[in-house]
Structure 1
Amino acid sequence: MDILVVEDELDIANLIKVYLEKEGFTVHLCRDGQQALQMAQTIQPDVVVLDLMLPGLDGLEVCAQIRQKPGDKDPYIMMVTAKGEELDRIIGLSTGADDYLVKPFSPRELVARVRALLRRSLRQGGQTPQFQSPHFQLDPTQRLATRSLPDGTSEPLSLTTLEFDLLATFVSYPGRVWTRPQLIEKLWGEDFYGDERIVDAHIARLRKKVEPDPAQPTHIKTVIGVGYKFEDEADPS
């Protein structure tokens, strides 16, 4: 497994590298945003550990560009920031990050989170059934998702790995109400570290891609005080 660590503070970068290499990962280091984009295309990492504050392009822009131009792999992105404000975390997640970690952090916690992301990939990778509803079709083998349009045609959806798994979970259980802890257990597993509100950020990002009007969702609905549920009824003939 290849991991790209984008961190301009050399001491922190080397510390991360030591701990990840002890776990058997191949680690690549870079110190600025532009180089990170070039290395992400060349290396095709499985995980990107990405500092928010970088010279040149900052971590938010790097994250957004990786998501806009994915290579053969769609890497998991772990955002690392010295800022503890909730707004910074939500902005990072909205640009495509899968998780975040606030400095100062334990290197062991970072390793645990990286492993949790990769374990989720391994769990989901064993699935072969097709998921479909009146308006959505998902192929887990090829990680492809499409949405049916009113004119009878369909369009592909550009989803990250986590967004695909989240939509597949909803489509598989139409009408079921999911709490945040249940979605975390389903998608991240019991070794999840972090704030439950990470779910809200990913839901908001997914809605922007699958809802005709994200401000008034018709498919992924909020159940106030509980969580979320998926509804997808066939269009009346």
Structure 2
Amino acid sequence: MKESKISVLIADDNKEFCNILNDYLLSQRDIVVTGIAKDGLEALKLIEEKQPDLVVLDIIMPHLDGLGVLERINSLGLEKTPRVIVLSAVGQDKITQRAITLGADYYVVKPFDMDVFTERIRQMFNSTISEEPTNSKPTISVVEGSKSED
């Protein structure tokens, strides 16, 4: 039986962050990065073209922000709607709630631990990469890195 890889699209305007995340995800045996978008409009185009399993979506991007991308994903008429992990440097409750309402599966506050992040990805798709019985209830969580007190 061929093990399928989780296809991921990264959408973030921070080129350095995209490169770090791309390199890390590419080192994983069960994840493949199918595209990187630098703004929301490019993200929508790549979502339509590549039809990834997962979109890692930054909230603050030029041309169209992450919330705008979430609003438009549902109107694309895709065969399969991708799962979405929203990234943000801010953990504001209103933004978090809006992202979840618009269909985000997880909301992750930067900086975050890459190992925990990839584990969350695997948990989202564990029915395709694990033979263990799963609890199929949708899960929403916030992964936070260490914060400094200002």
Q: TM-score, normalised by structure 1?
A: 0.52
User: Which among 19, 24, 31 is matched to residue 19 of structure 1?
Assistant: 24
Question: Structure 1: any 5+ residue segments left out of the alignment?
Answer: 127-184, 196-237
Deviation per CA, 1:68-97: give whole Å up to 9, x if none: 224122110001111112111101111111
Describe the shift of the 1:85–1:121 C-alpha distance in structure 2 as closer, same or farther (beyond 3 A).
Answer: farther
Q: Quote the Cα distance in structure 2 between the aligned partners of 1:53 and 1:76.
A: 19
User: Which among 80, 92, 99 is matched to residue 73 of structure 1?
Assistant: 80
Structure with max Cα Rg: 1
Q: Structure 1: which amino acid aligns with 2:94?
A: L
Q: CA deviation at 1:57?
A: 0.3
Q: CA deviation at 1:34?
A: 0.4
SS of 1:23's equivalent? coil
Q: Quote the Cα distance in structure 2 between the aligned partners of 1:12 and 1:3.
A: 15
Q: Quote the Cα distance in structure 2 between the aligned partners of 1:121 and 1:53.
A: 31
Q: Judge conservation of contact 2:58–2:87 (CA < 8 Å) in 1.
A: yes
Question: Structure 2: any 5+ residue segments left out of the alignment?
Answer: 1-5, 143-150
**1:1-237 to 2 correspondence within 5 Å?**
1-24=6-29, 25-27=31-33, 28-120=35-127, 185-188=135-138, 194=141
Q: Structure 2: which amino acid aligns with 1:56?
A: H
The count of residues paired between Structure 1 and Structure 2 equals 132
Describe the shift of the 1:68–1:17 C-alpha distance in structure 2 as closer, same or farther (beyond 3 A).
Answer: same
Deviation per CA, 1:34-57: give whole Å up to 9, x if none: 010000000000000000000010
Describe the shift of the 1:23–1:119 C-alpha distance in structure 2 as closer, same or farther (beyond 3 A).
Answer: same
Poorly superposed stretches of 4+, deviation over 6 Å: none
SS of 1:187's equivalent? coil
Q: CA deviation at 1:120?
A: 4.8
% of aligned pairs identical?
29
